[in-house]
Amino acid sequence: MTFLRRTLAVAAKDLRSEIRSKEAVNASISFALVILLLFSFAFDLEPEQIRDIAGGLLWLVFAFAGTLILNRSFARELVNDCLDALLASPVTGAELFFGKCLANYVLIMIVECISLPVFAIFYDVRLPHLAMLFLVMLLGTWGITVIGTMFSAMTVNLRLRELMLPTLIYPMLIPALVGAIELSHVLINNGALAENFIWFRILVAFNVIFTILALALVEIVLVG
């Protein structure tokens, strides 16, 4: 119970701070829109071809835009030695990490929920199985959030933090991104979900394995 209470306290703090300033969310949404615009120049395709690559485009937008939020996650605590104060507090590393994970998750989901209809409108893509697509977004985003928050903790004190985070997380995220892309592709194209159940398993396995690993190792990363 204490774990949950403290985790939710950290998450609430981060969310409150972000809702007041709206810095990261605004930047992330703008970036997502810019990427969607650039894709329109890069890919001048017929509607059927767009539907073919829609899953991939969507998750590229989510992954790139999400990094802006993940970068801020621990970096916001550097000002006035807030990170040191948090580490010295009764909140454990795992609680701090999980709280930030939850806050980042909510923020990235907000960005995705705004980007998705914009994407559908810009590229004239129908989204028939919206509920299932939302489930895929929930699963895929958790994978991005866990890895991103963990590596944000790792790179927080580095000189080239903004450069290092994308370099480190994107190769790690490949299983989650491939799974999310495949499932999104199937759902957008009215494909057979039953044949593609393996991707659900990969997403869930990725999320479970890396959440446990991150919770186990984050204390070492933050404290030593």
Partner 1 sequence: MRVKIILTLVILSGLILAWNLHTIFFKVPDEANQGAIFRIIYFHVPAAITSFTGFYIGMFSGVGYLMKKDLRLDSVAASINEVSLAFASITLVTGSIWGRIIWGIWWTWDPRLTSYFVCLLIYFGYFMLRRAIDDPNTRARLSAVLSIFACVDIVLVWKSIEWFRTQHPGPVLEIRGGGGMAPGMEAPLWWNLLALLMLSAALILIRTRQEAMKREIDAMRRYAHAF
Using the minimum distance from each CB to partner 1, give the nearer residue, 34 or 223: 223
Measured from the CB of residue 27, what is the shortest distance to partner 1 in angstroms? 24
CB of 2 to partner 1, least distance (A): 25
CA angle 79–146–31, rounded 5-degree value: 65
- Least distance in angstroms from the C-beta of 185 to partner 1: 10
Q: How far is the CB of 214 from partner 1 (least distance, A)?
A: 8
**In whole angstroms, how close is the CB of 5 to partner 1 at the nearest point?**
27
- CA 179, CA 201: separation in Å to the nearest integer? 9
Helix axes 93-123, 2-21, angle to 10 degrees: 50
| Contacting residues toward partner 1, per CB under 8 A | 147, 150, 154-155, 157-160, 164, 167-168, 170-172, 174-175, 178-179, 182, 196, 198-199, 202, 205-206, 209-210, 213, 217, 220-221, 224
Q: How far is CA 75 from the centre of its chain?
A: 16
Comparing CB distances to partner 1, the nearer of 133 and 186 is: 186
What is 50-105 written as a DSSP string? HHHHHHHHHHHHHHHHHHHHHHHHHHTTTGGGHHHHHHHSS--HHHHHHHHHHHHH
Q: How far apart are CA 19 and CA 12, in angstroms?
A: 10
| CA neighbor of 94 nearest in space, from 207, 4, 208 | 4
The minimum distance between CB 52 and partner 1, in angstroms, equals 11
Q: Is the CB of residue 186 less than 8 Å from the CB of residue 193?
A: yes
Q: In the chain, what are the helix, strand and coil shares in percent, each to the nearest 5? A: 85, 0, 15
